[in-house]
Amino acid sequence: MYSGIRNVQILIALLKAYGIEDVVLSPGGSDIPLIHSLETDSDFKCYSVVDERSAAYYTMGIAQMKQKPVACICTSGTAACNYLPGITEAFYQNVPVLAITADKNPYFQNQLETQKINQMGIFQGVVKYEVELPIVKNEEDAWLCNRLVNEALLELEHHGRGPVHINIPILDQTEIYDCECLPMERKINLVTSVELDEVWRQYAEELKNKKILIVVGQNLVFSEEDYKNLNEFFQRYNCVYAVEHLSNIQCNGCVFTYPITEILGPEALQELKPDLVISIGNNLAAYKLKPFLRRNYKTIKNWLIHETGQVRDAYQCLTEIFECSFSYFFKRILETENYNENIEHSYYDLWSTAQKSIVVPEFTFSNFYVAQELSKRIPEKSILHLAILNSTRTMQFFNLNSNVQVYSNVGALGIDGCFSTFAGQAAVCDTLAYLLIGDLSFFYDMNAASLRSIGKNVRIILVNNGGGSEFHFFMGRKNIPTIDQYICAEHSHSAEGWIKSLGYEYYSASTKEDVCSILDIFSKPSEKPLFLEIFTKMDEDAEKTNEFYDMYRQTKDKWDNSVKQIVKSIVPEKKIKKMKQIVNILKEKE
């Protein structure tokens, strides 16, 4: 019988999943739920060593002989400290010892709680990895606990072997042990580039008959061979490349998913749910793609392609990490004998229909209008840096000329270095370089405008709406009457004096006609860096953004009808009728 404590159950279930069978146990109070759960499970071979100092060495000895990870478990307080010599020896001999230290309630740290010391950091410098598990009270706690245990157990043998520390707070040591079976816990598998061909064939086989969403983040560079492989992958599988401007990719199967996920409601998005998500690249600008996938984490698998092998469980359904480049992954998958002739691209059709259902209007004068007009005028092979939030958002709804490279600091999403990052990019390129930036971001990083490297290829478009319209968009004056004073940091500053003093060619605009005529100049060569300051109003910008986002209600019926037509073309009429009969029977039973 097992303990009913959730973090204990998760830890033991994953010990079993990872094949850790040998456990060295030292007596105590805090670790009773762990010890009793393990000693009643025949899958574990338990050893009793009272002295924790000896127990760590004893564990190392078993691990050396068996050439596999072995765990040792102790109570809280100085018992954990006594593991240090043995763990140190294991570290310098590269032995996979898993030190599990039970702990008291973390809220009582430094509050005179009996046997409560700071057990995190005890093994600093002599463990490969260290985690502290949460007290599990809800599903999000359970996901975190599962992820942390997976991270720790993977590191026992990842890039060489060595010891790992798991600290687990256990609140109730006297509970009843009435849990007959452990929960099914998700195990994250690590696949390296040197895996046998058979392993790659198995994964290629798993891709058959799946709706595959390939999420393409930023910071990837694609070669001609990559494009060839990505196009062939699309031909073989029922997949979609979910991209936005920051993905900097143009191949068969691409759909700009940003407008779809940000505008269409949860019901419409549910029709687009994948079976498998393959993640390549880094961050995205989209806000609502992650919540959409997380809501469906129980029915979706996520494969992560990343050279570090690091756990990045963005959608809370990560099952596989492929420790290789995306180029290598697609090459190996395509090398298998798994060619699907005449694949139906029904999943791509669904996303394409959703994309077409979003009608982008001709905007009145606003931040959206600026992005709409600028997108038409950036020449091919230019670079475009989008300052975070509004600047990045507005541009995602408009097409750009081919081979325009797009960047944005969405990694940490800070306003403090948008101009400086752009200045570095512009300094090492020969093409025109555009920066679309809001006023708070600009004035925060305005010193970058004075850098000596600023050249005549630089084009700055500053949308100055007198504050942080982003917060009007999310909250608005109706909800917070004082929003402009501190939240939006309202101001009446202009960049004109500063920019002219630096030798830029300065322009200003406050009408649609001004914007169009000046942006035409920005697409041509010049002898000086060019700067355009466009004056809008932040509450009006936010209002127009909200109005546009609300348009999905007007297109929802059109979208629903399109989806029904596609479903009918994919599923035979007899099966649809049968499915309806089953649904009606289930409803009657309810």
Query: 23: part of which helix (H) or strand (E)?
Result: strand 22-25
Please give the backbone phi and psi of residue 185, each rounded to the nearest 5 degrees, phi first. -105, 140
Structure tokens, 149: 């245990």
Can you give the pLDDT at residue 108?
87
325, pLDDT greater than 50 = yes
The pTM of the full predicted model, rounded to 2 decimals, is 0.91
For the ranges 15-24, 427-436, 519-528, 542-551, which has the lowest average pLDDT?
Answer: 542-551
Q: Percent of the chain having pLDDT more than 70?
A: 92
Amino acid making up residue 231: N
pLDDT at residue number 177: 81
Read off the pLDDT of residues 201-211 as tens digits, 9 standing for 90 and up: 999 999 999 99
Comparing 1 with 513, which gets the higher pLDDT?
A: 513
Alpha-carbon span 95 to 68, nearest angstrom: 8
Answer whether 190-357 and 367-548 agree in fold: yes
Q: Cα 421 to chain center, whole Å?
A: 22
Tokens of 212: 């595959």
Dist. CA 473–CA 540, nearest whole Å: 10
Does domain 6-185 match CATH 3.90.180.10?
no
Picking from 214, 244, 242, the residue whose alpha carbon sits closest to that of residue 329 is 214
Query: Looking at the chain, how many residues does it have?
Result: 590
The pLDDT value recorded for residue 326 is 97
pLDDT, residue 418, reads 97
The predicted-structure confidence for 50-102, as pLDDT tens digits, reads as follows 999 999 999 999 999 999 999 999 999 999 999 999 999 999 999 999 999 99
Average pLDDT over residues 507-531: 97
Q: What is the pLDDT of residue 178?
A: 80
Looking at residue 502, what DSSP letter applies?
Answer: T
pLDDT at 155 (0 to 100): 98
Q: Tell me, what's the pLDDT at 174?
A: 64
Of the candidate ranges 57-61, 336-340, 434-438, the one whose mean pLDDT is the lowest: 336-340
On whether the CB atoms of residues 391 and 463 are closer than 8 A, the answer is yes
Instruction: Using DSSP, state whether 305 is helix, strand or coil.
Output: strand
Could you give the 3-state DSSP secondary structure of residue 212?
A: strand
Interatomic CA distance for residues 171 and 104, integer angstroms:
6
Q: Which CATH class is domain 367-548?
A: alpha beta
- Enter the DSSP assignment of 247: G
Query: Could you tell me which residues come within 8 angstroms of residue 136 by beta carbon, excluding any fewer than 6 positions away?
Result: 5, 6, 7, 10, 142, 145
The domain locations on the chain are 6-185, 190-357, 367-548, 555-589
Q: Are 155 and 91 in contact (CB under 8 A)?
A: no
Return the axis-axis angle of helices 6-17 and 139-155, rounded to nearest 10°: 40
pLDDT in tens, 139-160: 999 999 999 999 999 999 999 9
- CA dihedral in degrees (227, 230, 231, 232; nearest 10)? 120
The confidence score (pLDDT) of residue 341 equals 65
Higher pLDDT, 568 or 363: 363
The secondary structure element, H or E, covering residue 189 is strand 189-192
pLDDT digits (tens, 9 = 90+) for 348-360: 999 999 999 898 9
Confidence grade of residue 589 (pLDDT, cut at 50, 70, 90): very low
122 vs 24: CA distance, rounded Å: 19
pLDDT of residue 110: 80
3-class SS at 165? strand
Binning pLDDT at 50, 70 and 90, where does residue 578 land? low
CB 22 within 8 A of CB 47: yes
In 3-state terms, what secondary structure has residue 48? Answer: strand
Residue 120's pLDDT is what?
96
Tell me the average pLDDT across 229-238: 96
For 67, residues 6+ apart whose C-beta sits below 8 A from its C-beta are none
State whether CATH 1.10.645.10 applies to domain 190-357.
no
pLDDT classification of 411: cutoffs 50, 70, 90? very high
Contact 182, 27 (CB under 8 A): no
**How is residue 304 written in tokens?**
């992560």
Q: Averaged over 364-382, what is the pLDDT?
A: 97
- pLDDT reported for residue 585: 53
The reported pLDDT for the residue numbered 590 is 47
Measured distance CA(133)–CA(127) in Å, rounded:
17
CA angle 460, 461, 462 (to 5 degrees): 110
pLDDT for position 407: 98
DSSP 288: S
Q: Side by side, which strands form the sheet with 254-256?
A: 189-192, 318-323, 301-305, 276-280, 212-216, 239-243, 254-256
416 alpha-carbon distance from chain centroid: 22
CB–CB of 60/29 below 8 Å? no
Record the tokens describing residue 448, joined without a space: 């970058």
Phi, psi of 134 (to 5 degrees): -80, 160
Pick from 108-117, 127-136, 247-256, 431-440: least confident:
108-117
Handedness of CA 203, 17, 141, 6 (dihedral sign): positive
Q: How confident is the model at residue 339 (pLDDT cuts 50, 70, 90)?
A: low
